[in-house]
Amino acid sequence: MNTDTKVYLKKRFKEYYWNNTVRAPGEIHRREFGVGTLENKIKFRHKSFSTERELNQYLKTEAPYYISYSAAYYEYPRESMAQKRWLGADLIFDLDKPMKLLSHKLLQEVKEEARNLVGFLTVDFGFRGQDIHVNFSGSKGYHVHVINDEVKRLSGEARREIADYISGAQVDIRYFIREVEGTKGLTYKRGRVKATSGSWVGPRKDSTGWGKRIYDVTEGMLTSSLDDLLALDGIGRKTAEKIVADREKNMRLLEGGRWDALMRQFGRNIQKMIYGKAVKVVDEDRQVTFDTARLIRLPDTIHGGSGLLAKRVAELDKFDPLVDAVAFKGSGCIVLLSSDVGVFQLLGRDFGPYKSGERVELDDAAAVYLMLKGLAEVPAVKTGR
């Protein structure tokens, strides 16, 4: 990145923080903060602020490219980890979707993950809506915070178990379906004696937790059209046609909690499909949940890799990060492409593709984004004698 580009970016970051006030996290004096550069997301940590005013004065003066804060509360947040004296921590989930460039489609997918996660937290764990805070991460996904006194003292292992449950780790539908005793016997088929298993009972419409999700997935499969069934992985035409033909019978069985015929015919398909109801938290992101010393992006501050805001989300369904989280809004800026750039979405429309060496006038948000990605520069000003 050339000097002119660094000067331009620092100026834009300072302008933002001078013109906007960032709300402090709860109990700010108990939080540890870390700040980053263009090269390192957390270059320095063990910082602390006593008040929101002090935090905002720092942002106006330093305009860091990244600023994060601890999920944890400490007696002495400025000290080394051994001396901080841990008092508790919020429960935080980090959801993101790998993407080379900003993609509306991929961000919609990870928004659905966030929606599923909120469902788990409210329905399965009983957290109140007011305790759950959803923030756009500023780049590729969402951070979901649970903030109340009950979760503060949870151990790392307890947090890991919550993440395992939500992500569907080791969920097997046979854990939720049991064989009714006393119904085993013998039958004759094609002239041969064959042992039969008993009837299987499983989740019903009024089930809860993963049982309800298994019921919902199965009901959705049984009521799908032939074309929708054929579009699912692992379901061929013969199976799809049988599901459609036996729909009424299978729905009666399902509503009555009878799973014997369903398990014999569609058990593997159902097993695959229930993972669509899980929240896909990869190993690296899961560590944010059970690492109580982890720092997370401070809401309403700029993400130094995208120029978008790590923004608080009031209504997830209506939120569009590529419009609502834009920090830099202006008439435009000319950039020099330092690399080929594919198509990306921002401000509700497509940008690109562009070729290396091309000079393009872009909206401020798109220009800053490409500069921070290392794909564009502020063109050097030629000076004559």
Residue 216's pLDDT band, with cuts at 50, 70 and 90, is confident
- Nearest-angstrom CA–CA distance, 143 and 98: 15
When comparing pLDDT for 229 and 307, which is higher? 307
- Is residue 211 located within the same domain as residue 359? no
Residue 74's pLDDT band, with cuts at 50, 70 and 90, is very high
- Is residue 251 located within the same domain as residue 364? no
- Is residue 195 located within the same domain as residue 289? no
* Domain extent for 219: 173-277
Residue 159 within a domain: yes
- Nearest-angstrom CA–CA distance, 209 and 218: 15
DSSP 100: S
- pLDDT computed for residue 165 by the predictor: 83
Residue 244 within a domain: yes
- Is residue 164 located within the same domain as residue 181? no
CATH number for position 129: 3.90.920.10
Residue 384 within a domain: no
Residue 125 within a domain: yes
Residue 362 within a domain: yes
Range 56-77 average pLDDT? 96
Span 240-279, pLDDT tens digits: 888 888 888 888 888 888 877 777 767 667 666 766 665 6
- Is residue 15 located within the same domain as residue 117? yes
- Is residue 348 located within the same domain as residue 231? no
Residue 385 within a domain: no
- Is residue 343 located within the same domain as residue 370? yes
- Is residue 261 located within the same domain as residue 148? no
Residue 242 within a domain: yes
- Is residue 154 located within the same domain as residue 264? no
- Is residue 159 located within the same domain as residue 177? no
Domains in the chain, number: 3
Helices then strands (H, E): number in the chain? 13, 21
Q: Which residues pair with 336 in a beta bridge?
A: 359, 377
- Nearest-angstrom CA–CA distance, 46 and 80: 7
- Nearest-angstrom CA–CA distance, 385 and 383: 7
Residue 52 within a domain: yes
Angstrom distances, CA of residue 108 to CA of 75, 311, 323: 39, 16, 13
- pLDDT computed for residue 156 by the predictor: 84
Range 290-307 average pLDDT? 91
CATH number for position 360: 3.40.5.50
247-255 and 260-273 are packed helices; what angle lies between their axes, rounded to 10 degrees? Answer: 90
- Is residue 205 located within the same domain as residue 68? no
**Active-site residues: which are they?**
94, 96, 285
Span 99-157, pLDDT tens digits: 999 999 999 999 988 988 898 899 888 898 899 999 999 999 999 999 999 899 898 88
Angstrom distances, CA of residue 374 to CA of 67, 330, 369, 370: 20, 21, 9, 6
- Is residue 247 located within the same domain as residue 191? yes
Which of 241, 258, 277 is a domain's end point? Answer: 277
